Chain A
Amino acid sequence: MTRARTRSAPAALVVAGALSCAVAAVPLVYLVVRATAGGVPAALEALLRERVLVLAGNSIVLAAAVTAVALVVGVPTAWLVTRARLPAPRTWLVLAALPLAVPSYVAAFGWLLAVPTLSGFWGATLVLSAVCTPYVTLPVAAAIRSSEDLEGTARTLGRSPVGAFWAVTWPQVRPAATAGALLVTLYTLSDFGGVAMMRYEALTWAVHGAYSASFDRTRAATYALVLVALALTVVLLERAARRRAGARLPRASARGGDPVPLGPWTPVAVAGLAAVAVVSVVVPLGAVLRRFAASVDAGLDVGRLPAALGGTVGLAVAGAVVAVALALPIGVLAGRYRSRAATALESASYLAHGLPGVVVGLSLVFVTLAVVPALYQSVVVLAVAYGVLFLPKAVGSVRAATAAVPPGLEDVARTLGSRGVGVWWRVTAPLAWPGVAAGALLVALTAMKELPATLMLRPTGTVTLATELWSRTAVGAYGAAAPYAVLLVVVAAVPAFLLSGALPRRRRVTEDDGGGLR
């Protein structure tokens, strides 16, 4: 029997969640206010200028191209790594996921080292496709793996292998692929570092350009507004698609299916997978490592490396603290109560996915200068920017950690005389905090790679790995930039490693407590 949670959400929690969402909404609200300050007609006129349309078109074309490549490459890759009988199967799976550990601007940097003439649309498409394809490959692979039992059942009911795939596996794959593809679209629209290094005139680069070259607030705000509109549209589509995908995804079976022998096609499949790995991992990382080795041979100039590392870690930790603080009320509400307020707040926080770093950065510069100039270029503002940017990630972690604590435990605690806050403090919090802490760690590691907001908001004199890589590349000092790229990849690999399940699962909560009074 399913039992809805009938207790209504505590008002204090709802108010705190609403405050978090309000903080997250500040950049967006400010942009709208700013863009329409001169009246709506003027704003519309600014929006419809040819330059804006060209930039928006550039962003859309790039996003479409990258999404198409990711689908065409990602879906077959997913099938091969999950179902085909290949030599060294684990290796291909790792190689397919590895590009997640390469920030787009590091991949671009690597490719520029290898092929210095690369630039523009094709360069951006190549780099972003390489980096983004895992967003299709991984969910599709999960969908295929989870439908193995179904496929076996369909086979026993008389379907051919191909017939079984179409009848049961494809309906699982399609929504997963759709959701993954929309994620790729979103990341491509929001990407700043990759397109900037490839000198492709997308909206993100134009926002940054308008801001840094002329400090032209109105123009930058106009570009940013168009960018946000595009990104939010994709976020809404992605959320809808992911809901459909998630609702139908059965649990992955413990045992794998029998791998399909490819016969004479095996070398072709291996060559294809190898080619993808070469483009997305081997070339960029190889070039970076080669340049790094060369600079070590020439006597590594440690220079600002320690300062950059310290700055990166310090800022990221501050950002993670802000993100988790903002996320706590929303995540707890979403993990525990099925009320309308909880759902609305969680959905609102999810929209922060549609705020590209360059937009949050720009907007917070304006807000700070207008409202609290004393805080301009202080750690506080950058931490808030990180908090807003990574709010959905933190909310997801808090929600999962809270929801993993069986409500039956809280019921028992109440019958034993504990009240609201007491139950939370004595039962829920001790069980949920490892998950929340892991979420904070993930946010911190993600914040370490952040480039555009960091460029705009970092305190004067503070350097990070990303900004150092950026400024060295900008002046053509590739050799000096290489060590920063290597460190960034190491930093970025940690969350990929954590997410891939290399850490032991939290045994005590997951193992002992099944359904019960739920």
Chain B
Amino acid sequence: MSEVRLVGVVAGYGDGRVLDGVDLHLAEGSLTAVLGASGCGKSTVLRALAGLLPIDAGSIDIAGRTVAAPGVHVPAERRRVGLVPQDAALFPHRDVARNVAFGLRRGPGRAERVAELVRLVGLDGLERRFPHELSGGQRHRVALARALAPRPDVLLLDEPFSALDAGLRAGLRAQVRDVLRSSGTTALLVTHDQTEALSMADSVAVMTDGRMAQVGPPEEVYRRPSTPTVAAFVGDAVLLGGRWSQGRVRCALGEVAAEGGAVGSDGAWVRVLVRPEQILLRPVGPGEASDGRPAPVAVVRAVDFYGHDADVELELVGGLARLAGAVGLAGGPEHEPGPDPGDGDRVRVRARTASEDLPARGSLVRLEVTGAAVVFPVLGAATAIA
């Protein structure tokens, strides 16, 4: 029984309020990733959970025990939490074995437990090494073993891979996830790396302005973001203006199936989210480019080649483009509705495509949207503009 529950947690440093009513539930044995921009308070969640920062309001329960609430503050050393800091923070005066043993009581079984964990993180044979004799990845594995050794109720990982290079990071992520699964530990991972959050976690919590904006399985958070802000933070987003009607939405990319429930009456202005990989590039048929028919056609402005795939920067041309300009555009998710005088007809969208058969810069392509778009109501413009 090692689930964790935060209810309405408010905390901060001095006068500044960093957490402004955080609600979060970590299911037993699950790995939850808190995803947020730097400064949104995600590391503060972790410090509050660890007991390193007293909370001002709300409550924190770990494994059925209230560890923080008004008048209750169980200190860090009695919370049974494990912490893997960003820089690993190995004790430089202790070798690997003594780092791992730090949180274990003296007595029988101690050496066995150390050996078990060193084996678990794959560092057999390095027990007598000192931290400065280890590579970056090895240090993080020692930090993980050290945190797991006293069998904590919950493990906290504070951007543990951000200091490592890309290749090492991917490998270590998989290892850490395997170690957590095999030990059945409830864990909270704080990161600003969406790939890390989406690929590792059972549950992703997107944090903005000191609150949890959305919590859910990675697929759900990605496919059905609750707000344009979440959409823009989790993955790349193409946000357009459009009109909703009968489960479909008309926007600069043509008429697309819409998800997202009731957003108002038919003809209501909405914001439309399409992911770049949903936009398919097709060759332009003869006569399609200039006849003004409502088929989305775009000029290729730039191609960013990444190897495994490529991003194509497109500028829409023709009549449909005007529709997009009517509601704030991808530039800022919280744009006020209304005409965008600066951009005029220039509407740019980004498509992600396989890296074969890339269109040339300056060429025309026809756009097709696969799957459904997500629509959000436009505040103050829910009623149709005739």
Contacts and interface: CB of A to CB of B under 8 A. Distances in A.
Nearest to A423: B77
A415 B92 contact: no
Contact of B92 (A3, A4, A416, A512): A512
A517 B77 contact: no
Given A412-B85, A508-B92, A6 B53 contact: yes
A45 interface: no
A508 B130 contact: yes
Given A3-B13, A415-B147, A409 B132 contact: no
B338 interface: no
Nearest to A408: B89
A431 interface: yes
Contact of B85 (A427, A431, A507, A517): A517
Given A3-B13, A416-B150, A511-B132, A408 B81 contact: no
Contacts of B47: 3, 517
B102 A415 contact: no
Interface string A411-452: 111111111000000110011000000000000000000000
A59 B163 CA distance: 57
A513 interface: yes
Contacts of B146: 412, 416
Contacts of A511: 132
A417 B87 contact: no
A514 interface: yes
Contact of A408 (B85, B93, B163): B85
A512 B92 CA distance: 7
Interface string B114-140: 000000000000000011100000010
A511 B85 CA distance: 17
Most buried by B among A4, A411, A416, A512: A416
A502 interface: no
Interface string B7-32: 00000011000000000000000000
B187 interface: no
Contacts of B149: 416
B87 A515 contact: yes
A515 B88 CA distance: 10
B77 A426 contact: no
B86 A515 contact: yes
A412 B88 CA distance: 9
Contacts of A508: 92-93, 130-132
B39 to A, nearest CB: 6
Contact of A411 (B39, B83, B139): B83
B13 A411 contact: no
Given A411-B76, A415-B81, A6 B54 contact: yes
Interface residues of A, number: 30
A94 interface: no
Contacts of A411: 50, 52, 76, 83, 85, 89
Given A508-B92, A508-B93, A516 B130 contact: no
B50 A415 contact: yes
B82 interface: yes
Contacts of A512: 90, 92, 131-132, 139
Nearest to B92: A508
A466 B21 CA distance: 67
A508 B93 CA distance: 7
Contacts of B348: none
B93 A430 contact: yes
A415 B77 contact: yes
Given A1-B38, A4-B13, A517-B47, A416 B52 contact: no
A193 interface: no
B79 A415 contact: yes
Contacts of A426: 102
Interface string B58-85: 0000000000000000011111011101
Given A412-B91, A417-B78, A512-B132, 17 more contacts: A411-B83, A411-B89, A415-B51, A415-B79, A415-B83, A415-B156, A417-B77, A417-B103, A417-B150, A419-B75, A431-B91, A431-B93, A508-B130, A512-B92, A515-B87, A516-B87, A516-B88
12 contacts: A1-B38, A1-B39, A408-B87, A411-B76, A412-B146, A414-B51, A415-B152, A416-B146, A417-B77, A417-B150, A427-B91, A512-B92
Interface of B: 13-14, 38-39, 43, 47, 50-54, 75-79, 81-83, 85-93, 102-103, 130-132, 139, 143, 146-147, 149-150, 152, 156, 158, 163
- A-B pairs, top 8 by smallest CB distance, nearest first, are A416-B103, A516-B87, A414-B76, A508-B92, A408-B89, A415-B83, A516-B85, A430-B93
Interface of A: 1, 3-4, 6, 406, 408-409, 411-419, 426-427, 430-431, 507-509, 511-517
